[in-house]
Structures are given as structure tokens and as C-alpha cells.
Structure 1
């Protein structure tokens, strides 16, 4: 658990042999993500290749087009990057393993980008953690009594007395369901009420374009007319590229 002032971040994500394997695979890829161009390539790849079957059928064609693109823009280490990601998919035993890898890779990249901001003496940062403010755990208990929709953690949390950022991150925008939005709103309301920081940002981030995420949120809002995401920061891949790769 990381603590600073009246804010505590308690990691709840599993830590076992399987999760460590997935994270190690993600870290082998993340070291190549050092420019806007290669991050864009990765986003397109992860959004497109969601199954073992599709990878085996379509990777060669994608690789040829990507190599042509990389040559035009003189992208460094593209061959090593493609070999590493191909090796990861080939080693993956099923679609569930591929899905876990996709999500973990995005999380690892975001963690590495936010670490220089919040992994400091006067700050705290965790991933997959429960947020506790003034000894109160921020938990969303599902209004429909579906235990699978109860939410206790946020994907990325960085905090100090001046700035704080809490993000739920998903490779694809359609994974932002009503329970996630309600949890983030609850976190926003309580953190604002307790004035935990000068600059508070709580939001959603995806590897798709921002417009696609907004469209998905609006679709979810039509199903649940009480849903409101106006207090949340909506980040698409163009926003991530502008902040960390420009």
C-alpha cells in the first residue's frame, strides 16, 4: 500500500506466475514504444488483432503494410518490434491470454509514461488499486445487484498535493460500461469534496481515437439515461501521443 496524506492506494490486482508472465511479455514490447508513430502502429495492431485465429490469418499482410509505412517515415527498430509482438502472439495459447496481454501492455505503457511524474518522493502511484480517502474506500456497488459489476479499483492512480490523475484504461472503447463510469464519478465526487489536490483529473483512456470513445460512451448513455461523464477526462490515443510523444 502507498500512502500520502489522507490518500491511500492499495493494490488489489493479482500477482502470480501467470500475471507475471503476461507483464514480462508486455515489458518486452513497451521498450520499443518511444515515438508517436510506433505508438500509433501498436494501437492499430492491438485494436485489430484480438484473437489467435485472426492473427494467424492476417498478420503477414499487416506486417508488409506496416514495413512499407515504417520505411516511409524512417521508424527505428520496427523490425525488432514486429518480431517481438509476433513472438508474443505465437506463444499465446488462446484468445483469453491474448486479451490479457493486450490490456496489460497498454497499462504498462501508461504506467511507464506517468512514472516520471508520480514516482517521486512527494507523490504516490499504483496500478490496479483501490483508492482510500480519509479512511473511506471508494467502491461502486452495482445498482442492479450484479456482483460482477461491482467495482473497487482504478487502473492507473497518481497522486500528490498539487496534481492527481486517476484513469481507467481500455484498449477498445466499447469496454467502458456503465459501472466504470459510475465508479469514476463516485471517485471524482469524493476526491473533490475532500479537496485532496489542487488539480484533479479522473477519466477514461483508450487506444482508439477520442471520437470513438465518446461515441461508445454516448451509446452506453442511451441504455442508461442517468449516466453522466461530463466531469471525466476523455482521452483517445491522439491525446496520449500529444502528451507523451510530441
Structure 2
């Protein structure tokens, strides 16, 4: 469903997707699934442009990833937050845009899971082109502070995309050409194949 990038693609592939999904319904009895299909169809009809479709897909992908990571950090000794500020040693992690563009300032991370054993912080974008330099610089700042303060035994800070990992790497390399100071060597690059391996095998 996350592949429905525009209305034309949706209209030409929705029925095929619906038919393949029906096969799962023969195995699983899911309450209200027909209503969900109607809502999906209505939502795509209401969305006015490809930017709105991209926003919708992005929010849907975030919800899926939140659900998967929440099962890891649901124990009493863990913390799980979404779209949250990160404060380490009483200092909030903030990136202020080096070019002075306030729209590129960054103060939150999409997913934060923490306990003394593991700490994971991720930015989630359905497509790799949405990972701009400001996100990488923010994550680098977060990595430096978390490492310096040794907040947990294992630290993972990264970018998650629904596309293949190589697509995200290619996009980050393109960003580096515009910002030659950009370094993502400390950032985990997580693509569709990594998500499948961790959560869907």
C-alpha cells in the first residue's frame, strides 16, 4: 500500500492490491477490514496532490514503525517516545540551520527507545529524498552527545526508509555533494530489506 505514490498509480493498482490482500483474509479473521479498505480508497480520492499523498504515506509508514519498535521498549525499565525532544545530561539536542533557514532547524526525533542496555533513535521517511542535510547534522549531534555520556551499553542512531538501503545511501551521497562537510559514518542506514529481516521474517 505504501507504494501508491500518486493517484494514477493508486487507481491502476488498488484493485490488484485488494485482490492479493483478500488471500490473507482467508487465513486471518480481521474485524472491520472492509471498512479499512473503504477508508483507504476514500482517503486517496480526497487527497488533492502528490505532496499530500507523500505526507499520508509518510505518516502511515511512521505508524507501522512505531508499532514494531514499541514491542521492544514496552517493558517497565524502558522508555518509548515518538516525535520527541531528546535531553541528555540536562541538555536538549537542537540543530540550528547553518544557512539560517528556520524551517531546517530540528529539535525532535521520530522514534526514541531507551533502556540501560539499548538506546535507539531514528528518523523515519518513506522515501530517501526526504533525508536532507539538517536531519543528518541533527543525528550526528545526537550521536556525539549520547556517546560522550554513555547513555546505554548499545547505541543505535539512524535513518529508516521504506526504499532499499542503497537508495538512501545514494541520496545521502548526493547531499554530500551539496554539503561537502556532511558525514553520515556514525548513522545507521536502514532500508526495506533491513526492516523485513528484523520484523517480518
Which range, TM-score by smaller chain?
0.7 to 0.9
Write the distance in 2 (CA, Å) between the matches of 1:215 and 1:141: 25
Structure 1 residue 70: Cα displacement: 5.3
CA distance in 2, matches of 1:43, 1:239: 17
Deviations along 1:36-60, whole A, 9 cap, x unmatched?
xxxxxx3322xx22xxxxx1x4433
Contact 1:63 1:82 in 2 (8 A): no
TM-score (norm 2): 0.87
Tell me the secondary structure at the aligned position of residue 89 of structure 1.
helix
Q: Does the alignment pair 1:66 with 2:66?
A: no
Distance in 2, matches of 1:233 and 1:146, equals 26
Q: How many matched pairs?
A: 195
- In the other structure, the counterpart of 1:44 is 3
What residue number does 1:35 align with? none
Distance (Å, rounded) in 2 between the aligned partners of 1:110 and 1:153: 17
1:218 aligns with 2:155: no
Q: What RMSD in Å do the two structures reach over aligned CA positions?
A: 2.2
1:146 aligns with 2:101: yes
Counterparts of 1:162 and 1:177, CA distance in 2: 30
In structure 2, the gaps of 5 or more residues are none
Which of 164, 167, 186 is the aligned partner of 2:122? 167
* Matching of residues 10-21 of structure 1 within 5 Å: none
**Residues of 2 paired with 1:151 and 1:69: CA distance?**
40
> Which gives a bigger RCO, structure 1 or 2 (Cα 8 Å, sep 6+)?
1
- CA contact under 8 A between 2:165 and 2:190: conserved in structure 1? yes
